[in-house]
Structure 1
Amino acid sequence: MSLSLLVAPALSLLSSPLLAAEETLVVTATQDTISELDTPAAVSVVNGEEMRHAAPRINLSERLSGVPGLQVQNRQNYAQDLQLSVRGFGSRATYGVRGVRIYVDGIPATMPDGQGQTSNIDINSVESIEVLRGPFSVLYGNASGGVINVTTTTGTQPPTLEASTYYGSFGSWRNSVKATGATGDGTQAGDVDYTISASRFTTHGYRHHSSAQKNLANAKLGVRLNEASKLTLLLNSVDIDANDPGGLTEQEWRGNPQQAPRAEQYNTRKSTKQTQAGLRYDRQLSANDDLSVMAYAGVRETTQYQSIPVAPQLNPTHPGGVIELSRHYQGIDSRWTHRGNLLAVPVTFTTGLDYQTLSEKRKGYENFVAENGITLLGEKGDLRRNERNLMWNLDPYLQTAWQLTDKLSLDAGVRFSSVWFDSNDNYIIGKNGDDSGDASYHKWLPAAALKYALSDAWNIYTSAGRGFETPTINELSYRDGNLPGLNFALQPATSDTVEVGSKTRVGNSLLSAALFQTDTDNELVADQSSGGRTTYKNAAETRRRGIELSADSQPGYDWRVKMAWTYLDATYRSNACGTDDCTGNRIPGIARNMGYAALEYAPPEGFYAGTEVRYMSDIQANDENTATAPTYTVASLNSGYKLRFRERWMLDVWGRVDNLFDRVYVGSVIVNEGNNRYYEPAPGRNYGVGVNLSYTFL
């Protein structure tokens, strides 16, 4: 499945990643390959080889910094996942991903309520990662910032077996194996392709109480049923056990960024297990018609111990300091694509229906027990919460593409997004009353783009679209002031975006520019965060204005230069701070300027080397703009050697240094943290080495 849905309505879940000879980055489609140059939207594509090149292969933050408009930061906290936002949407998330839809091989890594996570993405298996910035896709719903679509490798002949290992600072180990291959060329009945990958990662962690271990497995098996249809089975499993070091005050960060005082006191930690499977059926009905159906199901279980003091939990309505979640999710997305002519104009129609459902059992326990008159913290105590939550959505959609003239094209579509939430409270004891309730949200989501080709190598476009973002189950779960019940006062956020852009190819360089403005009503923002628990509220109005520039060049066959710059002015247009008026303040968690530059010498074999520089301007940590994470610039170096021997073997030995100049900086912030513990420190200078060995069965 591809995310360039504005510009390729022919897209279906049968994505076969192709690489055009003249384009190093492409947007994939069922029948047609649309280059990044020809896409009338802000789209960036990072291929899998780039993701794995001299990299630990642990986090998306390692290689996505070169995408303009994408702010992705490693918290150094595997209990909370990466902090990821697109054009500032998602910056409020204290864990997981909000405001951005994430897909892996067509299976959402974002739940129906809009909460996503990246921990199940296997970098070893990635073929490409496409990032669409802005709400310009009607084939995806419940997101304002955009879409991140991950496509994994489809096995081909000849079969290849690969083993790799990485060792880095802070006792970090990653060991992986991968097998890919196929029988036949994939066009005949009975042809099979496969990709199987597994890895294990362990680390002591940069900070105290931040050790983690992660086991990840991913499999993709395709079977050609006949010349017109194919069936693909997708399996994924992840198992994470991680300590949670928590945030620090500014004084604590500057005094000792590695400390984790509350974490050690309460033994804060989180365990997550997720297993999912998907089945995709693709059929070419005729020369002009395609059908695609994707069905999937999964289960995710989470247990989290928080640093909430004993005293608040003595309140009979308090839900406790231990969270146990069991989630079962499933869905189906079916779509039909037709290509033809209408009034002598070439046109493509894609129509479909997307259904997702999520069933959650949520329990809360005290995070302490009393033994012989002594209170032991960090232990699961008495039950304080027990509820069953359901959320589901049903979204029909229609997307069209019109080739009006040789140079002018129009893409337009609409989606009607409906989301329902229902909660049944099963913990009704004494003063803890019945907190059951339900809510529903509905919104029309139109999008359109107009592209004009000034030449074969230069396109300009303008686009407009509407985004829709509901509160997640976790955001509905708590009310400010430790009040009981669900936060049904939260309303969905609606954003309207207009954008103009230009893309041109000069020699072997692709230059892109996008200018946009997004106005949002009822934006969901963090209200207060304390003890690992965050409450949320609606800000009446916000505005984002920005410029995104990028250049990707290959000045020589073995050389590559990549640069990106983002300016994003994100502000409150109304008061979101109560008595302290913060109209005009910057929205916290969002950098106003981001810069990236990389230079690589990377021949297919032999010696290679590269360097990267990342710049991040200061980030406000609270709505009042009284706490700030300072500006920083960090650099990295990598070098290695690739050796092919006996034709079948390839050995790649490499090393890298990150934060080369040992800068002291904040890696991410916890927005509106109630105890001023906003800061999650980044490590100083750190090192890593890796070895990759592959064997091809010629």
Structure 2
Amino acid sequence: MDLHRYLIPKRITISLLFILLVNFSFAQSKVDSVQKVGEIVIRAYLSEQPILRVPSSVSLISNKQLRDQPGISMLPALNSVPGIRMEERSPGSYRLSIRGSSLRSPFGVRNVKVYLDEFPLTDAGGNTYLNLIDVNSIHNIEVLKGPDGSLFGANSGGVVLLNPVDKHSDSSWASAGISSGSYGLFQEKIALQKKFKNQYLNINHSYQRSDGYREHSAMSRNFAQVMYRMNYSEENQLRVLAFYSDLEYKTPGGLTLAQYTANPRAARPSTAFAAGPVAQKARIENNTLYAGIVNEAKIIDNLRHVVALYGSTTDYLNPFITNYEIRKENTAGLRTYLELSGNEDKSINWKWNAGLELQSTGADIANYNNNRGVQGSLQAQDDIISNQFFYFTRFSTNIGEKLSAEVAASLNYYKYKFSKDIRTYATRFERKFDPELMPRFALSYKLSDNLALRTSVSRGYSPPTIAEVRASDNIINANIESETGWNYEAGFRLRNRNDRLWLDASIFQYRLENAIVRRVNANDTEYYLNAGGTRQTGVETQASYWLIEPGSKGFLSGFQVQNSYTLSKYFFQNYVNGTSDYSGNRLTGTPRAVVISGLDFRFQKNFYLFAQHNYTSKIALNDANSVYSKSFDLVHFKAGWRTSKPGKPVIDVFAGIDNLLDETYSLGNDLNAFGGRYFNAAAPRNFFAGMKLTL
């Protein structure tokens, strides 16, 4: 293997590593003269803990990192995390994958579990409407990479935790912002937090629209979120969360290479055999109301109890090229757990968690003929009940100041039922999957206060989603099996004594069985099948360093360099489809190498500049590996002026450029598309500007 081909792409410099190594010794010699930046703390494993000794691959996207980005979507922030790939086929149409899971997701999120606070955003049918959420309503994001069902149930890719507010915030404030940009982009956002003694009310509202770069790719979203928090005693808290999202976006369809080269802005054209998305008025409309209540109570000094109840209702409309789909979905669920803690003053301290999560989703799905955007005669109708629940337990211990160990497991149950009438539950077809055990074993050892090693073994499990069992061909595929697999991982984390330097690295191998892949029929309807196994070996690194500490005197009052690197050697194993043998081929939809580099400049007089470069290598677009997308380099920057006097209003005025190099590239490929319609062109060089006022 030619390591230089993957580890050091021609257009990527290794100067960041050189800078980090040179300046590490410099920073250590001057540690007494600099102020501590702040240790990274996460709450991904049910309680807050320093990330240094967490024995798993977890990444935190902080509020600062979200603020550095344009604020239009989560895409650039999530893509800065190694192993994460978020794509945008057109505005509002997102796909999120962790460590190669885009193989399974033609759109949206599958085999990744997503939570909003303590509430699962992923429904019982395995679907997640991540595009409903406005990024400005999120305080920070935690990502658990690799299968981690020991606490979070069925997933074979990973877990994303969206934290909507800073639960430690103890003040009242209000903010309003507006931004605009190329291709009709407009966004307004307002937020308010009000403190009433021991109670807090947080309100977010945003409206966003865009005409889109491509023909027939306009989108709009109205989003409102309310969160109420009451600390009814020093150790007890009640939270209520609710959001409503009204999302609509048009779907322009994939292009062949010839069409993409000739006019990347075009929607898929009509043919003599099939009308295109413009003629069929193809679009998605999603109206969702979601609400939940969670109570955290300290029963006695070393016993804590958390219980969350939640529910949602969705009206979904999708006129497509081949049909006109209408869905009504309702979800209800419960998540609860206990946490028993040992004495933290002892040389051996421990925590034990035990709990359960259950949810049920009812979906009334009807497909009609699409007569140029008008609902026609009925093609097929199914009422579907999906139920899943799991028990979970986790025991973790810290032995002295060095060793941390964790043993965890969940027992997962899943079934779906196709009914004649969702109101009477008369069963037409039912499938109940065997219970699946998902264990996890992990160790972390601190070689010093600044360096920790880690290793883990975990099992992944992800049953087929309802969208895969009943795909757009309207045929119930009762034979599709769950994905399962084992992940073996090792890594280390390094910081310096004042936390200006941070380095996280991991190497893993994931052995996935019964991988689910997408196929497309000649009439553009899709179906899914199991593709045997995959072998996924990867290396991930993430580093940041404040070369000039924030608050320094001089022309630059702060300067940070950032870098993340992903190497993905992912292959099919034992994958035969008819007469075609794809064993040994690269995993579809996953680039071999991704390098993200960032520079954060803070100047005197409150000026700032953030620049980011994304190199993504070529991507196999079909299982046969006969077609690849080309590699691309994306550069964007955001510059602005932000006041920061304590007790005074904060004004933030900014402007930026996306795709500075004016690359022609596809950021959301249609994998295994029939007729070679793989490509969805992203916008060329484009601009944005805005301002935000916080009182």
TM exceeding 0.5: yes
Which residue matches 1:312? none
Q: How does 1:158-557 map to 2 (within 5 A)?
A: 158-184=171-197, 191-260=198-267, 261=269, 262-308=276-322, 321-340=323-342, 345-368=348-371, 377-425=372-420, 436-478=429-471, 485-506=475-496, 508-528=500-520, 533-556=525-548, 557=550
Amino acid at match of 1:28: R
Amino acid at match of 2:187: R
Q: How far does residue 605 in structure 1 lie from its aligned partner after superposition?
A: 6.1
Give 3-state SS (helix, strand or coil) of 1:63's partner: helix
Give the Cα–Cα distance (whole angstroms) in 1 for the partners of residues 318 and 522 of structure 2: 15
1:681 is aligned to 2:681: yes
Gaps of 5+ in 1: 1-19, 185-190, 309-320, 369-376, 428-433
Give the Cα–Cα distance (whole angstroms) in 2 for the partners of residues 283 and 157 of structure 1: 19
Amino acid at match of 1:146: G
Give the Cα–Cα distance (whole angstroms) in 2 for the partners of residues 276 and 642 of structure 1: 34
1:126 is aligned to 2:138: yes
Contact (CA 8 Å) 2:576, 2:582: kept in 1 or not? yes
Identity value in percent: 25
> Of Structure 1 and Structure 2, which has the larger fraction of its residues in helix?
2
Give the Cα–Cα distance (whole angstroms) in 2 for the partners of residues 170 and 31 of structure 1: 42
Q: How far does residue 175 in structure 1 lie from its aligned partner after superposition?
A: 0.5
Contact (CA 8 Å) 1:49, 1:127: kept in 2 or not? no
Q: How far does residue 116 in structure 1 lie from its aligned partner after superposition?
A: 1.4
Amino acid at match of 1:586: R
Superposed CA deviations along residues 280-319 of structure 1, whole A, max 9, x for unmatched, are 01100111110000000010111101112xxxxxxxxxxx
Match of 1:102 among 114, 117, 142: 114
Taking structure 1 as the reference length, the TM-score comes to 0.88
Change (3 A) 1:122 1:109: same
Match of 2:58 among 43, 50, 59: 43
Give the Cα–Cα distance (whole angstroms) in 2 for the partners of residues 438 and 60 of structure 1: 36
Contact (CA 8 Å) 1:113, 1:142: kept in 2 or not? no
Q: Single out whichever of 434-443 and 162-171 deviates more from structure 2.
A: 434-443
Amino acid at match of 1:461: R
Aligned residues: 638
Amino acid at match of 1:414: A
Give 3-state SS (helix, strand or coil) of 1:359's partner: strand
Superposed CA deviations along residues 489-535 of structure 1, whole A, max 9, x for unmatched, are 10001010000001111351111110000001111111226666421
Give the Cα–Cα distance (whole angstroms) in 1 for the partners of residues 428 and 182 of structure 2: 47
RMSD after superposition? 2.2
Which residue matches 1:88? 100
Give the Cα–Cα distance (whole angstroms) in 2 for the partners of residues 605 and 103 of structure 1: 39
Change (3 A) 1:142 1:21: farther
Contact (CA 8 Å) 1:142, 1:417: kept in 2 or not? yes
Contact (CA 8 Å) 1:530, 1:673: kept in 2 or not? no
Which residue matches 2:575? 575
Change (3 A) 1:452 1:535: same
Give 3-state SS (helix, strand or coil) of 2:279's partner: helix
Give the Cα–Cα distance (whole angstroms) in 2 for the partners of residues 491 and 120 of structure 1: 29
Q: How far does residue 565 in structure 1 lie from its aligned partner after superposition?
A: 0.4
Amino acid at match of 1:134: G
Contact (CA 8 Å) 1:565, 1:593: kept in 2 or not? yes
Change (3 A) 1:653 1:386: same
Give 3-state SS (helix, strand or coil) of 2:674's partner: coil
Q: How far does residue 405 in structure 1 lie from its aligned partner after superposition?
A: 4.1
Change (3 A) 1:579 1:132: same
Which residue matches 2:564? 564
Superposed CA deviations along residues 512-563 of structure 1, whole A, max 9, x for unmatched, are 1100000011111112266664211001111100000110111112221110
Give the Cα–Cα distance (whole angstroms) in 2 for the partners of residues 241 and 673 of structure 1: 24
Give 3-state SS (helix, strand or coil) of 1:235's partner: strand
Give 3-state SS (helix, strand or coil) of 1:90's partner: helix
Q: How far does residue 225 in structure 1 lie from its aligned partner after superposition?
A: 2.4
Give the Cα–Cα distance (whole angstroms) in 1 for the partners of residues 369 and 655 of structure 2: 46
Superposed CA deviations along residues 118-146 of structure 1, whole A, max 9, x for unmatched, are 12323222221001101135110111111
Superposed CA deviations along residues 249-288 of structure 1, whole A, max 9, x for unmatched, are 1111111111002221211111000001000011001111
Give 3-state SS (helix, strand or coil) of 1:74's partner: strand
Contact (CA 8 Å) 1:112, 1:356: kept in 2 or not? yes
Change (3 A) 1:154 1:83: same
1:601 is aligned to 2:601: yes
Gaps of 5+ in 2: 1-34, 270-275, 551-557
Change (3 A) 1:670 1:532: same
Which residue matches 2:127? 115
1:620 is aligned to 2:632: no
Give the Cα–Cα distance (whole angstroms) in 2 for the partners of residues 461 and 644 of structure 1: 39
Superposed CA deviations along residues 630-677 of structure 1, whole A, max 9, x for unmatched, are 111111122111135794322111100011011111112111112211
Q: How far does residue 442 in structure 1 lie from its aligned partner after superposition?
A: 2.0
Give the Cα–Cα distance (whole angstroms) in 1 for the partners of residues 433 and 294 of structure 2: 30
Q: How far does residue 29 in structure 1 lie from its aligned partner after superposition?
A: 6.9
Change (3 A) 1:268 1:459: same
Which residue matches 1:141? 153
Q: Single out whichever of 550-559 and 24-33 deviates more from structure 2.
A: 24-33
Amino acid at match of 2:581: D
Change (3 A) 1:646 1:335: closer
Contact (CA 8 Å) 2:53, 2:404: kept in 1 or not? no
Q: How far does residue 338 in structure 1 lie from its aligned partner after superposition?
A: 0.3
Q: How far does residue 425 in structure 1 lie from its aligned partner after superposition?
A: 4.1
Amino acid at match of 1:170: Y
Give 3-state SS (helix, strand or coil) of 1:475's partner: helix
Amino acid at match of 1:326: K
Contact (CA 8 Å) 2:55, 2:404: kept in 1 or not? no
Contact (CA 8 Å) 2:438, 2:459: kept in 1 or not? yes
Give 3-state SS (helix, strand or coil) of 2:78's partner: coil
Taking structure 2 as the reference length, the TM-score comes to 0.88
Contact (CA 8 Å) 1:246, 1:532: kept in 2 or not? no
Contact (CA 8 Å) 2:362, 2:385: kept in 1 or not? yes
Which residue matches 2:629? 629
Give the Cα–Cα distance (whole angstroms) in 2 for the partners of residues 251 and 426 of structure 1: 47
Change (3 A) 1:532 1:157: farther
Give the Cα–Cα distance (whole angstroms) in 2 for the partners of residues 421 and 74 of structure 1: 30
Give 3-state SS (helix, strand or coil) of 2:579's partner: coil
Give 3-state SS (helix, strand or coil) of 1:666's partner: coil
Q: How far does residue 402 in structure 1 lie from its aligned partner after superposition?
A: 1.9
Superposed CA deviations along residues 13-46 of structure 1, whole A, max 9, x for unmatched, are xxxxxxx965453212799632222211111101
Give 3-state SS (helix, strand or coil) of 2:532's partner: strand
1:72 is aligned to 2:72: no
Give the Cα–Cα distance (whole angstroms) in 2 for the partners of residues 667 and 449 of structure 1: 35
Superposed CA deviations along residues 41-97 of structure 1, whole A, max 9, x for unmatched, are 111101123212351x2311032221011011222242xx31211011233211210
Amino acid at match of 1:206: Y
Give the Cα–Cα distance (whole angstroms) in 2 for the partners of residues 277 and 680 of structure 1: 34
Give 3-state SS (helix, strand or coil) of 1:265's partner: coil
